[in-house]
């Protein structure tokens, strides 16, 4: 089941770098890992309800709130669903201007992200399935891509991760060219920029399902992308 877990105030989340808001999980005594580019991380908050088995996945910013989704496999009621016609798959989504971007996770091959007109989706009748041929742009993206968001200058940011690594990429959405790549915490998932230009992300590393991973960082956090270094070592 994928559910909405957190609606945290951005103002309340702007805390001292050394502090972590929220409740530390009780199922482990692991020490929080030191992630690559730790100096670029600002606000930090324990992912909510991970003691119940939730693994954090999706992040978006809505006004003064950060919204976090997660799954736990326990089942539950579906509030609303949108079917995608095969072979179109949605691992993560983002939007920019008048376009919806649907990204596909893939390994070991490269993934892709497709661009759709929001107006066309809004005009579609109830139950209509978005189809791959309706996309008017396609970009090949890195293998194991997990999340996406656009900054205020219109650049596309992508995250990639596994239990062993994490990466952030800044990408030209017109050409797909990777303009910069930065090491980041393992298990990093979805992304979302706030109005101040801070990039919010979450890691599932060390959540109850993935407690045996070498990294322990089940944290919702913000990143000052201006402080990122491409040469930072773990």
Residues in a beta bridge with 69: 4, 58
- What is the rounded distance in angstroms from the CA atom of residue 136 to the CA atom of residue 67? 29
Which among 142, 168, 145 has a CA at the least distance from the CA of 155? 168
The pLDDT tens digits for 118-136 are 888 778 777 777 788 889 9
- What is the rounded distance in angstroms from the CA atom of residue 174 to the CA atom of residue 218? 33
- What is the rounded distance in angstroms from the CA atom of residue 232 to the CA atom of residue 234? 7
The pLDDT tens digits for 97-126 are 999 999 999 999 999 999 999 888 778 777
Q: Which residue has the higher pLDDT, 231 or 218?
A: 218
- What is the rounded distance in angstroms from the CA atom of residue 29 to the CA atom of residue 181? 32
Res. 84 pLDDT band, cuts 50 70 90: low
Hunting for tokens 């968001």 — which residue is that?
149
pLDDT recorded at residue 93 = 92
Mean pLDDT of the chain: 85
The pLDDT tens digits for 214-230 are 999 999 999 999 999 98
Which among 173, 179, 103 has a CA at the least distance from the CA of 143? 103
Res. 139 pLDDT band, cuts 50 70 90: very high
- What is the rounded distance in angstroms from the CA atom of residue 199 to the CA atom of residue 221? 8
DSSP code for 51: G
Domain residue ranges in the chain: 26-68+87-227
pLDDT recorded at residue 4 = 44
């Amino acid at each position: 089941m994928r559910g909405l877990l957190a609606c945290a105030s951005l103002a309340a989340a702007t805390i001292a770098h050394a502090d972590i808001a929220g409740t530390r999980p009780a199922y482990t005594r692991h020490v929080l890992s030191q992630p690559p580019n730790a100096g670029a991380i600002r606000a930090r908050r324990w992912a909510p309800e991970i003691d119940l088995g939730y693994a954090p996945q999706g992040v978006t910013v809505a006004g003064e709130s950060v919204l976090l989704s997660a799954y736990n496999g326990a089942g539950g009621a579906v509030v609303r669903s949108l079917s995608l016609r095969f072979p179109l798959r949605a691992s993560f989504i983002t939007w920019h201007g008048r376009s919806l971007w649907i990204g596909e996770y893939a390994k070991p091959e490269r993934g892709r992200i497709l661009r759709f007109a929001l107006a066309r989706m809004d005009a579609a009748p109830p139950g209509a399935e978005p189809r791959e041929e309706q996309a008017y742009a396609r970009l090949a993206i890195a293998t194991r891509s997990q999340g996406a968001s656009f900054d205020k200058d219109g650049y596309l940011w992508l995250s990639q991760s596994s239990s062993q690594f994490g990466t952030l990429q800044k990408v030209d959405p017109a050409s797909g060219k990777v303009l910069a790549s930065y090491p980041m915490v393992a298990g990093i998932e979805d992304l979302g920029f706030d109005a101040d230009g801070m990039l919010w992300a979450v890691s599932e590393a060390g959540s109850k399902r993935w407690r045996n991973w070498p990294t322990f960082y089940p944290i919702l956090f913000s990143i000052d992308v201006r402080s990122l270094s491409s040469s930072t070592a773990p």
